Amino acid sequence: MPEQRQRRDEPEQNSGFRAALQGLGIFFFMQFIIGQFFGGKQQGSSSQSSSVVPAFSDRPDRSEISSYNFIPDNIAPIWPTNSSLDLNIYVSPSTSLPAFKAIPRDALVFEEKNFTMSNYSDTREIDTTIKVPKEAQQNGTLWAHFYVGLAGSQLDPLAKDYSPEKAYHFLRPLNQYLPKKKAKKLKNLLTDDDDTEEPEDDTPAIQIVSYYHPNFTVSVVPDTGIQKFRMMNPAIRQHIELESTGARDITGQNGWYYPVIFLNKFWQLRTHMTELNSTVETVPLRITLNNLQNWKFSLMASVDEGMKQNARQAATGGPMPAGGDGSEFEVIKEVLLDTNVWLLATTGVVTILHMIFETLAFKNDISHWRKKKDIVGTSVRTILANVFMQTVIFLYLVDNSEGTSWMILASQGFGILLEAWKITKTVDVRVRPPQPGSALSFLPYVIVFEDKHKLTETEQKTKEYDEIAFKWLYIIAVPLLGAYAIYSLMYKTHKSWYSYIIETLVGSVYAYGFLMMVPSLYINYRLKSVAHMPGKALTYKFLNTFIDDLFAFTVKMPWLHRLATLRDDIIFFVWLYQSWKYKVDYSRVNEFGQGGESDEEEEKETPVTEAEKKTAKVASGKEAGSSNARRRK
């Protein structure tokens, strides 16, 4: 028997506070499931008031019941809520066990006496190591057999003095069967020979594999009360163990159930699990026994079952509510477990702000460009570069992210369309035959960009400064891109040449994408003005970059992407300095024909009433008459 440790009557301070905040986070993420839970709770409450189930000791004899129902309507706890329990847990690959004396001693992993229900400070723990049976190594199930009874009662169902009134037995699987995706075949494009014949891999794209997590919490739920068995949520009903003799009250409609013991796997993360196969001979086992409130049990059981169903549906190719691959809730649990509670609360607030700022940025950006009538201070090359970079990111998401949410793809696609629309506001896009002697003369038609009108002196300067800025930008960015492309080709593996190109370009976009804002800053410097910039849209975008910085240290991600979130901050502070240095009076029309007030709202024409029209006609008639009289004189 492994060494056991007991912790009785200890206040759960930090863990309780953390658990409360974690439960609050789950509440906000899963409102629809909680709604189902509260509905079930109300049903349970109504059943308590509408029907009274007598104590189990007052049950009638089976022969006295005239209308017996095999499926009870209302069920009540068989034992008092403050009972003391004895609990044994055996681990075996078999669903049935012999008498306790015939079971190997190492199969008994947990043995506790006098555990008090409703005493939330009573906690027991054990740490041990168990051998993995061959059946479990071969994708079989590793079962935990629970033998529970009132303190001092016989727990062995095969013993002569065993009584189902005082003890019961049930089993739960310790391992989980989760989908495992087939690993993508990657190769080094330089060293691996394409002509080499590889053996055919008959492994399916998705396998159902046995996983094991070493930490388990066995929670006794003492305050479940009287429930309507037929109307219970299936996720909760699967944890109900009805009284084994099938006893009913005098109506034959109501019965009893044993205390709910919940094998809590809610906080088990996929990243902490071990795949059970022939190479795994022993695994650690840590069991914690405690009491759990009914509302927490109902919440965890409902949410966990719902997420498992989504994962199974995604694994079999079923449709998901917003795309994804069924692992979104796993990410949420990782954030709730691995993030500081105060940072987590702050992140929840700024998430709402992020959505607001993003919407306002889109709105003000579109409003600014819709009213823009010239190209003063506008870097056309920057807009074209933004279209290219966002298209690269879109292709990368499609090529490398299986199950990417359609909302992310839609947002990225809308950003591409918005940048393309800006091009049409700046220049005319035309399809023309190529110029004789040009590099593209072999094509029948090419896309050209033509000025919308004859450029003014300031617009011509903007075009000149844009060319100078991009000239130096090419000198810096092209060698960096070439160096990264060579490094990726020599030392990294890829699916194909197409994936190599996309991944190299997207890596450059993440690393050097902030350089695309440099031409605009250079134009501001040469023009000594920022009046042509969409100030409010930029402010909202830069506020979102600071929120992204917070997310970068909350959600796990590669360091390259984490550093990429900090790139726009540099541009923001330079733009702030320029805004301070080149003051703009938004209450008047600026030197570029733009006004701060007019950018927000267009002046509305004052409606002219019929009386005003008649007055105008009379006045015009009088003026005409007086002018004719002067001519006659």
Which of the residue ranges 38-52, 262-276, 376-390, 417-431 has the most confident prediction, judged by mean pLDDT? 262-276
pLDDT averaged over every residue in the chain: 75
Q: Which amino acid is at 384?
A: L
Given 313, 337, 361, the domain boundary residue is 337
Whether 628 maps to a domain, the answer reads no
Given 275, 308, 337, the domain boundary residue is 337
Q: What is the DSSP string of 277-304?
A: STT--EEEEEEEEEE--HHHHHHHHHHH
Residue 342: name the closest of 6, 17, 10 by CA.
17
Q: pTM for this structure?
A: 0.60
Residue 346: name the closest of 565, 14, 21, 31 by CA.
21
Residues 331 and 350 in one domain: no
Q: Tell me what pLDDT residue 5 has.
A: 43
3-state secondary structure of 418: helix
Summarize pLDDT for 344-395 with one digit per residue, the tens: 777 677 777 777 877 777 777 777 777 777 666 566 777 787 788 888 888 8
User: CA-CA distance, 380 to 519, in Å (whole number)?
Assistant: 10
- Pairing of the two strands 255-257 and 74-77: parallel
Residues 442 and 558 in one domain: yes
Residues 330 and 377 in one domain: no
Residues 10 and 29 in one domain: yes
Whether 622 maps to a domain, the answer reads no
Q: Tell me what pLDDT residue 72 has.
A: 92
Residues 466 and 323 in one domain: no
Neighbour-count burial of 505, counting CB atoms closer than 10 A to its CB (0-12 exposed, 13-18 middle, 19+ buried)? buried
Residues 164 and 284 in one domain: yes
Tell me the angle at which helices 31-50 and 294-315 cross, rounded to the nearest 10 degrees.
130
CB 383 within 8 A of CB 419: yes
Summarize pLDDT for 10-41 with one digit per residue, the tens: 333 333 444 444 444 554 555 444 444 444 44
Please give the C-alpha separations between residue 581 and each of 231, 302, 465, 523, 576, in angstroms, as whole numbers.
69, 58, 19, 14, 9
Summarize pLDDT for 487-507 with one digit per residue, the tens: 888 888 877 888 888 888 887
| Structural domains in the chain (count) | 2
Residue 166: name the closest of 70, 93, 245, 72 by CA.
245
Summarize pLDDT for 53-87 with one digit per residue, the tens: 888 888 888 888 888 889 999 999 999 999 999 99
Residues 313 and 412 in one domain: no
Residue 128: name the closest of 146, 143, 106 by CA.
106
Whether 8 maps to a domain, the answer reads yes
Q: Which amino acid is at 283?
A: V
Q: Tell me what pLDDT residue 272 has.
A: 87
The mean per-residue pLDDT over the stretch 111-126 comes to: 92
Residues 278 and 385 in one domain: no
Whether 449 maps to a domain, the answer reads yes
Q: Which domain holds residue 321?
A: 4-195+203-337
CB 397 within 8 A of CB 417: no
User: CA-CA distance, 136 to 144, in Å (whole number)?
Assistant: 13
Residues 289 and 351 in one domain: no
Residues 350 and 476 in one domain: yes
Residue that the structure tokens 């267009």 belong to: 602
CB 489 within 8 A of CB 189: yes
Given 337, 365, 386, the domain boundary residue is 337
Summarize pLDDT for 510-545 with one digit per residue, the tens: 666 666 667 777 777 888 877 766 666 667 666 766
Whether 621 maps to a domain, the answer reads no
- Phi first, then psi: give them for residue 571, nearest 5 degrees: -60, -40
Whether 612 maps to a domain, the answer reads no
Q: Tell me what pLDDT residue 534 has.
A: 66
Q: Which amino acid is at 529?
A: S
- For the range 550-555, what are the long-range contacts, defined as Cβ-Cβ under 8 Å and sequence gap of 24 or more? 550/343, 550/346, 550/347, 550/350, 551/347, 553/343, 554/335, 554/339, 554/343, 554/344, 554/347, 555/331, 555/335
User: CA-CA distance, 224 to 240, in Å (whole number)?
Assistant: 10
Element (H, E) at 489: helix 457-491
Q: 429: which residues sit within 8 A by CB, 6+ positions away?
A: 423, 447, 448, 449
User: CA-CA distance, 115 to 32, in Å (whole number)?
Assistant: 35
Task: Find the range with the poorest average confidence among 21-35, 231-245, 408-422.
Answer: 21-35
Residues 326 and 397 in one domain: no
Q: Quickly state the pLDDT bin for 601 (edges 50, 70, 90).
A: very low
Whether 66 maps to a domain, the answer reads yes
Strands (E), 151-223: 167-173, 175-181, 206-212, 215-221
Summarize pLDDT for 605-628 with one digit per residue, the tens: 444 445 444 544 444 454 444 444
Whether 607 maps to a domain, the answer reads no
Q: What is the DSSP string of 120-156?
A: TT-EEEEEEEEEPPHHHHTT---EEEEEEEETTS---
Please give the C-alpha separations between residue 418 and each of 388, 411, 413, 535, in angstroms, as whole numbers.
12, 11, 9, 17
Q: Quickly state the pLDDT bin for 463 (edges 50, 70, 90).
A: confident
Residues 538 and 584 in one domain: yes
